[in-house]
Amino acid sequence: GQNIDQPTEMTATEGAIVQINCTYQTSGFNGLFWYQQHAGEAPTFLSYNVLDGLEEKGRFSSFLSRSKGYSYLLLKELQMKDSASYLCAVRVLTDSWGKLQFGAGTQVVVTP
Amino acid sequence: GAVVSQHPSRVICKSGTSVKIECRSLDFQATTMFWYRQFPKQSLMLMATSNEGSKATYEQGVEKDKFLINHASLTLSTLTVTSAHPEDSSFYICSASDPNSSYNEQFFGPGTRLTVL
């Protein structure tokens, strides 16, 4: 099976920066996704990394090191609406399609 | 991005009844759809992978006779929870892969909250 670990909860103040780490052990790695999920809603896509390095997308950036089995999601200039669960998901190749294995999610609480 | 819908959004049923959940890709054709279950404060657990026109592939521990999946067209997959029991109460989410998207990522439906009394 796959082991995907991320912290359970993080708290930060509005305007600050928060970094959510994700470590994984997997075979058939085919990319790592970060999703945002508000309570009772579907996950929405934030970022994707398949090669080592940093991908920047506005206030959100994601980093990947395949050799270390490590990724992080960086949220800058935090806003209250960023309070949500952030899911790290590894795509693994199986047969002709790739399936996602999710971490348990990191609940980010943004305080005024 | 691509849009995936699910229906119903909420359903309450009596123990022993069957419930059907529909998942539709609205603006793209999805050869592969996925069904997940999520318990409160837990992550998404993949239940099965559904390919159009063929039998679904179930994850270990998921009963295929209890969770019937039909992928009748390139835009519709259904999950039927048969003889539902209170322990089946959960948040069920489908997703669909858009082969034309930048990363062949999965787009998620809004989820169905199932409560079995």
Contact assessment for residue B116 and residue B86, using Cβ atoms and an 8 Å cutoff: yes
Buried b (16+ CB within 10 A) or exposed e, A26-63: beebebbbbbbbeeeebbebbbbbeeeeeeeeeebbbb
Task: Please answer yes or no on whether A97 and B51 come within 8 Å at the CB atom.
Answer: yes
pLDDT band, residue B99 (cuts 50/70/90): confident
Structure tokens at B44: 């998404």
DSSP state of B103: T
Question: What pLDDT shows up at residue B83?
Answer: 96
Per-residue pLDDT reduced to its tens digit, A23-64: 999 888 999 999 999 988 889 999 999 999 999 989 999 999
The pLDDT of residue A97 is above 70 = no
CB contact under 8 Å between B49 and A97, yes or no, is yes
Between positions 38 and 77 of A, the ones with CB within 8 A of B are 40-45, 48, 50
Q: Is the pLDDT of residue B105 over 90?
A: no
Distance CA B62, CA A12 (A): 38
Q: What is the pLDDT of residue A102?
A: 93
* Min Cα–Cα distance to chain B from A97, Å: 8
Q: What is the pLDDT of residues B20-78, one digit of tens each?
A: 999 999 988 888 899 999 988 788 999 999 988 888 999 999 999 999 999 888 899 99
Task: Read off the pLDDT band of B1 (50, 70, 90).
Answer: low
pLDDT at A1 over 60: no
Instruction: Decide: helix, strand or coil at residue B88.
Output: helix
CA Rg, chain B, in Å? 13
| Chain B residues closer than 8 Å to A5 by CB | none
**Residue B106 to residue A100, Cβ atoms within 8 A:** yes
Least Cα distance to B90 among B19, B40, B26, B27 occurs for: B40
Q: What is the pLDDT of residue A73?
A: 98
Residue A85 · residue A108 · CB < 8 Å: yes
pLDDT given at position A42:
86
- Chain B residues with CB-CB distance to A20 below 8 A: none
Average pLDDT over residues A64-75: 97
| pLDDT band of B102, cuts 50, 70, 90 | confident
Q: Does pLDDT of A2 surpass 70?
A: no
A38/A2: higher pLDDT:
A38
- Cβ of A12: how many Cβ atoms within 10 Å? 17
Look at residue B113 and tell me whether its pLDDT is greater than 80.
yes
- Alpha helix segments (H runs only) across B4-52: none
Taking a C-beta distance cutoff of 8 angstroms, is the pair B94, B35 a contact?
A: yes
